[in-house]
Amino acid sequence: MTRIGRWIGSHLVLAGGILVLLYMYIPNMIVAVMSFNDSSGARNLYAFQKFTWNNWLHPCAPEGMCSSLVTSIEIGLLATFFATLIGTFAAFGLVRHKFAGRSLMNLVLFLPMATPEIVMGSSLLALFVAAGLGGHLGFVTILIAHIMFCISFVVITVKSRLAGLDGTLEQAAMDLYATEWQTFWKVTFPLVFPGILSAALLAFSLSFDDFIITNLNSGQTVTFPMFVWGAAQRGVPMQVNVIGTVMFLVALAAVILGEVGARRRRKAIAAR
Amino acid sequence: MIATARKRTGYLLILPAAVWLAIFFVVPFYSLLATSLYDPEGSVLTGYDMTWHFANFWTALSEYGGVMLRSFWYGALATLFCLVLGYLLSYAIAFKAGRWKTVMLVLVVAPFFTSFLIRTLSWKLILADNGWVVNTLQAIHILGPEGRLLATPVAVIAGLTYNFLPFMILPLYTSLEKIDPKLNEAAADLYSNPFTRFWKVTWPLSLPGVVGGTLLTFIPATGDYINASLLGSPNERMVGNVIQSLFTTQGDYAVAGALSVSLMVIIITMVLVYVRRAGTEELL
């Protein structure tokens, strides 16, 4: 009896967990289905009308959508590059070096993650306006904002990778007469690299998806989330769902490839 | 000699991050504070005069205090739902998933690579007046024949819960995963009831994750306005809606600034009290 009870108990939790996971996928399934929706002439844009391949064949048909996508990708790549660079430096500094003001730095890095986006966005806007840049909001101000909020996430990701690093490997390299520089590039960097890569991925997705801070500091520049927002007031073109589905598939593929790569590397190391 | 050199390298390494965050994160708070004390009679075109106009705070809180309260209430409810759902899933991944652990963890994060706005818009379709959710609820008489979900607090809170769930799951999973399964076995010897076992062993050990997750959920959920705009009606307006429209469409920078500063001050106070009471200061 108790054994049956325990079996049910343990599988009930797993079943519950899987249900929660399914709940998280409902919107993605809807987005995928709606990407095949023919909405032409329909009054209600939030219901499936008729099947069509058209949205997938002509993804750039809605005016301004693909140019906003390009803007978002440009900003995303630039913000990722700078935030990953700055953040990785800071993570090394914080983990590998002891200096006064470290805890203050940790606090300043933690705060952006604990500040509501609306507050961060409005204070940046206040700064830009006070600096006389109120009329020059656009690509550059969005980029500045994105680098700002991505840095913290890069630092914590790289920091956790660095903290879990086995220091004896570096000592071994030094014992084998590697210089500090060689040790860094041949031992430390390759070991930290997966952490840097996932930090960059995180930074890109944060930048690409940001709406609240961007909306306040964008001027006339339109990013993809802003295009969706603007379109939502009139009725979203179905091609938006195509983009959403593609983004999901690309991200899934990237994560799966990364996981397969990591497994293969582990196996290769084990086989040695 | 080497020690000073290493110290200097340390400073050099954090310098870019420190400068960037100082200029574009710390200084803006000062600008926001200054903005909140501007003379409300100014405009973006003519410029604002700094007049230490503390009355802006009075205007902001008397006019939008109700909206502010509602935001905290919605944020708290969404956080609670996230905690229940997120705990179930993180627990299942940490202890029941076996070799599927990594796969499930990837599956948790993957849907969130589709744009936040697109996913929120799809809830509009799910909760629509003639959708199957509403029809089912009407059929089993949970909703009246005229009842609806869209443009109600239920839709906004459901949207917030859905959107911020991963912020709850990841910290929860991290702290659950650290728990040694042997402790559960020991607990099984001590307490026969699985619920007692959970309350006395697993729950206290997962507290850092609970505190981290609730903060990471509550703070953005309270400041969010996307869910309230897309899934709610003007009756579900949250403080974020007000701040953004004061800044962008009404151009009332002074009151918007005061409201933004108030939100920040209240959130910081709540976070500090909460972290103290939970006894998890080391998180900060």
Q: Tell me the CA distances in angstroms from B100 to B92, B107, B179, one per residue in order.
A: 11, 10, 18
Which residue in A46, A109, A266 sits closest to B125, CA to CA? A46
Helix or strand or coil: residue A43?
coil
Q: Which phi and psi angles does A217 have, rounded to 5°?
A: -120, 20
pLDDT in tens, chain B (284 residues): 455 666 788 888 989 999 999 999 999 999 899 888 887 776 665 566 677 778 888 888 888 989 999 999 999 999 999 999 999 999 999 888 877 888 888 888 888 778 889 999 889 888 888 777 888 888 887 777 777 888 889 999 999 999 999 989 988 998 898 888 888 788 878 877 778 888 888 898 899 899 989 998 999 999 999 999 999 888 889 999 999 898 888 878 888 999 999 999 999 898 888 888 876 555 54
ipTM of this predicted complex? 0.85
Domain-located, residue B39: no
Q: Is the CB of A31 less than 8 angstroms away from the CB of B119?
A: yes
Total structural domains in chain A?
1
B28 within a domain of the structure (yes/no): no
Rounded-to-integer distance, Cα A91 and Cα A106, Å: 10
Asked if residue B258 is part of any domain, the answer here is: yes
**B247 vs B59: CA distance, rounded Å:** 15
How many residues are given for chain A?
272
* Residue-wise burial string across B62-72, b where 16 or more C-beta atoms lie within 10 A, e elsewhere: eebeebbebbb
Q: Given an 8 Å threshold on Cβ–Cβ distance, is A252 in contact with B110?
A: yes
In 3-state terms, what secondary structure has residue A29? Answer: helix
CB pairs under 8 A between A and B: 257
Query: Residue B38: helix, strand or coil by DSSP?
Result: strand
DSSP B191: -
CB contacts of B11 in chain A (<8 Å) are 93, 99
In a domain, A8, yes or no: no
Q: Is B182 within the bounds of a domain? A: yes
Q: Give the integer Cα–Cα distance in Å for B167 and B141.
A: 34
Q: What are phi and psi of A48, to 5 degrees?
A: -80, 130
Domain-located, residue B253: yes
Residue B43 covered by a domain: no
Domain count, chain B: 1
Alpha helices by DSSP H, listed for A35-175, are 54-57, 65-96, 102-110, 117-130, 139-163, 167-175
CB nearest to B122's CB, from A30, A118, A126: A30
Assess if residue B15 is contained within a domain: no
The reply to whether A251 falls in a domain is no
Q: Is residue A182 part of a domain?
A: yes
Q: Identity (one letter) of the amino acid at A214?
A: T
- The residue range of the domain holding B268 is 57-283
- Domain assignment present for residue A14? The answer is no
Residue whose pair of structure tokens reads 């800071």 in the numeric block: A90
Domain of B112, CATH number, reads 1.10.3720.10
Range of the domain at A213: 63-237
**B11, part of any domain:** no
Q: In this complex, is the C-beta atom of B122 within 8 Å of any C-beta atom belonging to chain A?
A: yes
Instruction: Name the DSSP letter for residue A164.
Output: T
Residue A269 falls within a domain, yes or no? no
Q: For the domain that residue A222 is a member of, what is the CATH number?
A: 1.10.3720.10
